[in-house]
A and B are shown apart, each in its own frame.
Chain A
Amino acid sequence: MTFLALLTKELRLRLRRERTIWVIIIYILLMGLLGWFYISHFGGYNGYNNNNGLSETGVNLYYLLSMVQLFLIMYITPAFTATAVNGEKERQTFDMLLCSRLSSFSLISGKLIAGLVNAILLIAASAPLFSLVFFFGGITPAQILAALLVYVVTTIVVGTASLFCSTLLSRPAVSTAVSYMVVVLWVVLPLLISFILLASSGFISAFLLAAAGSQPMPTNSQTSLLFVWNPVTALISTYPGAGGLATYTIGKIRIAPWLAYTVLSLLITGILIILSTWTVKPNPMGRLRSHTRKDPEPKEATATA
């Protein structure tokens, strides 16, 4: 009940803002223009292409749009949740929420879902653009669904991390900046670490030799583990022909990277929600505890006139 009231209020406020409409328009325009630019310049379609040529165009268009969409999601989602809690403090409405029967969990989940609805609205709005890919062929609906799952999970994990920042940091500008830094580090750090590890183990020269055809492609399980929780790797693993990409093995179970990413992300989201719930209100778990509570019954006050 309290959760629904908060969610309704959040959705009303967010969807009434002019900015929400403009974000959707610009998002769709950007994706549409990118698709149009690719088809018109690199598609090579002249009306006489064979089926293989068309499907290659479709696959490449899909690669481009899906990767751009992933980065746009990571760029836009923090804006929806990174100021959700400290924004209330800045607006001086937070005390009134504390005075209500709204639980910490309802507060966090209401704020999170409202923020995610905005981000997922963008993903939904871009769906017609992705349906264009089916005209060219080369992509199966299952692959698109897997990619969609990666998008939604990425939105959830980035949104939750940003929300956690907004519970920890009191200034909205700081929490937004920190959220973006966290997202950048999340995506780039495994790449940097693996590059350092590979450079130190001579892996890169082996990779270059393999690329030149002198020796078989090397594998490195140490570095592939670094990418187990990486949205880019997860998305690439949904692409056609990515079957060769390393799968993760737990006992006898083999898990595709996008599935491993989804499971890990949901676990981390859960942890972040618990942490946010813990930090959102001052002194949770019976947050008002007096240091001296020895007398069970009230005594007479002494300082009245």
Chain B
Amino acid sequence: MEATDTVIKIQNISKRYRTVNALNDFSLDIPRGTIYGLIGPNGAGKTTLLRILAALISPTTGQVWFENEELTRSPSVIQRKVGYMPDFFGVYPDLTATEYLEFYAGIHGIPRNKHKRVISDLLELVDLNAKRDEMVETLSRGMKQRLCLARALVHDPEVLLRDEPASGLDPRARVELRELLRTLQDMKKTIVISSHILLEMAEMCSDVAIMQEGRLILSGGVDTVTHRLGGSRQLEIRLLEQERVSEAIQLLKDMAEISEVSNDEGTTLLQAEFSGDDAAMSRILAELITKGLPVVSFAPRSSGGRLEDVFMSITEGSTAS
């Protein structure tokens, strides 16, 4: 990645609250246009980091750069580039959805003659056009979440910061939210989200940073992180006939890219530890088919599950990067 692709550069920041160190010498580069996930257990420092990035609190030590602007020197400039969505809704129930967005457009300094168009576009983006004149208190939790997202985007920020975006949402609302984030990514926005729901992060994010006790343990692309730490991916292969399972195990064990094969007795599902690229995976599948093995399904295990394994393994002790 080139230096110019970095939109946020966090350099050795620490944050101390009286007796607690929320962040400890934390450094991270966030590339432009990514959906960057901050993963960590409760108390890892995710919310503190997001609040620092939103220029709501200052780091005790260290620096944060947004392109060429240093956060502590020009917080108001940074706040124009950042849209922040905390993990709570924070709405005014006695306003309509339009009035709610009108208020935020006003306090973000958007000229009054542009309000109508901006609000209309945002309501369309979050699919709340039909609810534009409804009181906020009558909206469902998912709708309020989408309205808050529209609020965070009202000044067209380059970076969107979201703390625990899917907490308390039903599955449908989560899917809608994920789609929305993808749309925003297509709009060239950089999105930084925090969560401890790893499956969801693996599905949403292009890059992740794993945090523990205020320290960065590992960061990079989702596949890179799982690959680097786990050293291998897991393949799940399901056969049609149980009689051919032992033959398939033997064949897989003979392959260089497969380190271990396991199978629960009485099932047709094989799990193989695989270290190789997509081409190697394709070769393995071709080999199985050539040998006439009846393969029903052949897929790498979802990175969410792998990420969970990685996360569990590295946060088990006090491993530091």
Chain A contact residues, CB within 8 Å of chain B: 1-2, 4-6, 8-9, 12-13, 16-17, 91-93, 95-102, 282-283, 286-293, 295, 298-305
Residues 60-117 of B at the A interface (beta carbon under 8 Å): 60-63, 65, 68, 70-73, 75-76, 79-80, 82-84, 86, 88-92, 94-95, 99, 102-109, 111-112
Chain B residues positioned under 8 Å from A299 (CB to CB)? 11
Instruction: Tell me the nearest residue of chain B to A4, going by C-beta.
Output: B106
Chain A residues positioned under 8 Å from B99 (CB to CB)? 9, 12
Q: Which of B65, B95, B107 has the most CB of A within 10 A?
A: B107
CB within 8 A of A95: which of B3, B90, B108, B228? B90
Minimum distance in angstroms from B144 CB to a CB of chain A: 12
A93/B106 in contact, CB under 8 A: no
B56/A305 in contact, CB under 8 A: no
Q: Which of B75, B105, B228 has the most CB of A within 10 A?
A: B75
A283/B58 in contact, CB under 8 A: yes
The distance in angstroms between the C-alpha atoms of A81 and B224, with both chains bound, is 54
Query: Given A13-B94, A290-B63, A305-B220 in contact, is the A2-B106 Cβ separation under 8 Å?
Result: yes
B228/A2 in contact, CB under 8 A: no
B106/A16 in contact, CB under 8 A: no
A100/B104 in contact, CB under 8 A: yes
Q: A1-B111, A9-B106, A95-B84 are in contact. List 7 more A-B contacts (CB 8 A).
A: A4-B106, A13-B95, A95-B90, A288-B55, A290-B72, A298-B68, A305-B220
Query: Given A100-B79, A102-B107, A305-B218 in contact, is the A91-B90 Cβ separation under 8 Å?
Result: yes
The distance in angstroms between the C-alpha atoms of A99 and B78, with both chains bound, is 9
Tell me, yes or no, whether B195 is within 8 Å of chain A by CB: no
The distance in angstroms between the C-alpha atoms of A97 and B63, with both chains bound, is 24
B73/A5 in contact, CB under 8 A: no
A99/B63 in contact, CB under 8 A: no
The distance in angstroms between the C-alpha atoms of A299 and B51, with both chains bound, is 22
Among B24-32, B164-172, B264-272, B275-283, which stretch is in contact with chain A? B24-32
A17/B94 in contact, CB under 8 A: yes
CB within 8 A of B61: which of A2, A5, A287, A290? A290
Instruction: Tell me the nearest residue of chain A to B102, going by C-beta.
Output: A5
B95/A303 in contact, CB under 8 A: no
What are 12 A-to-B residue pairs whose CB atoms are below 8 Å?
A: A92-B86, A92-B90, A96-B86, A96-B104, A99-B82, A100-B108, A287-B75, A288-B72, A293-B72, A301-B27, A303-B27, A304-B27
The distance in angstroms between the C-alpha atoms of A303 and B71, with both chains bound, is 20
The distance in angstroms between the C-alpha atoms of A234 and B94, with both chains bound, is 39
The distance in angstroms between the C-alpha atoms of A198 and B220, with both chains bound, is 79
The distance in angstroms between the C-alpha atoms of A100 and B59, with both chains bound, is 20
Minimum distance in angstroms from B211 CB to a CB of chain A: 11
Interface size classification for chain B: 35 or more
Query: What 8 pairs across the A-B complex have the smallest Cβ distances?
Result: A5-B106, A305-B220, A290-B72, A100-B107, A92-B90, A288-B58, A93-B90, A298-B65
Tell me, yes or no, whether B177 is within 8 Å of chain A by CB: no
The distance in angstroms between the C-alpha atoms of A2 and B102, with both chains bound, is 11
Instruction: Tell me the nearest residue of chain B to A294, going by C-beta.
Output: B63
Instruction: Tell me the nearest residue of chain A to B79, going by C-beta.
Output: A99
B90/A288 in contact, CB under 8 A: no
Bitwise, B128-166 to A at CB < 8 A (1) or not (0) is: 000000000000000000000001000000000000000
The distance in angstroms between the C-alpha atoms of A81 and B182, with both chains bound, is 43
Tell me, yes or no, whether B10 is within 8 Å of chain A by CB: yes
A293/B63 in contact, CB under 8 A: yes
The distance in angstroms between the C-alpha atoms of A15 and B120, with both chains bound, is 26
The distance in angstroms between the C-alpha atoms of A194 and B225, with both chains bound, is 76
CB within 8 A of A304: which of B58, B79, B107, B220? B220
Minimum distance in angstroms from A187 CB to a CB of chain B: 34
B92/A1 in contact, CB under 8 A: no
Chain B residues positioned under 8 Å from A8 (CB to CB)? 103, 106
Chain B residues positioned under 8 Å from A9 (CB to CB)? 92, 95, 99, 103, 106
Tell me, yes or no, whether B238 is within 8 Å of chain A by CB: no
Instruction: Tell me the nearest residue of chain A to B83, going by C-beta.
Output: A99
Residues 1-57 of B at the A interface (beta carbon under 8 Å): 3, 9-12, 26-29, 51, 54-57
The distance in angstroms between the C-alpha atoms of A17 and B137, with both chains bound, is 14
Minimum distance in angstroms from B8 CB to a CB of chain A: 10
B10/A301 in contact, CB under 8 A: yes
B106/A291 in contact, CB under 8 A: no
Tell me, yes or no, whether B290 is within 8 Å of chain A by CB: no
Chain B residues positioned under 8 Å from A288 (CB to CB)? 55, 57-58, 71-72, 75
CB within 8 A of A289: which of B72, B102, B219? B72
CB within 8 A of B28: which of A2, A101, A303? A303
B216/A303 in contact, CB under 8 A: yes
A96/B151 in contact, CB under 8 A: yes
Instruction: Tell me the nearest residue of chain A to B25, going by C-beta.
Output: A303
B26/A303 in contact, CB under 8 A: yes
A303/B90 in contact, CB under 8 A: no
CB within 8 A of A298: which of B9, B95, B108, B216? B9
Q: Which of B75, B89, B106 has the most CB of A within 10 A?
A: B106
Query: Given A287-B58, A293-B63 in contact, is the A302-B27 Cβ separation under 8 Å?
Result: yes
Chain A residues positioned under 8 Å from B73 (CB to CB)? 293
Minimum distance in angstroms from B103 CB to a CB of chain A: 4
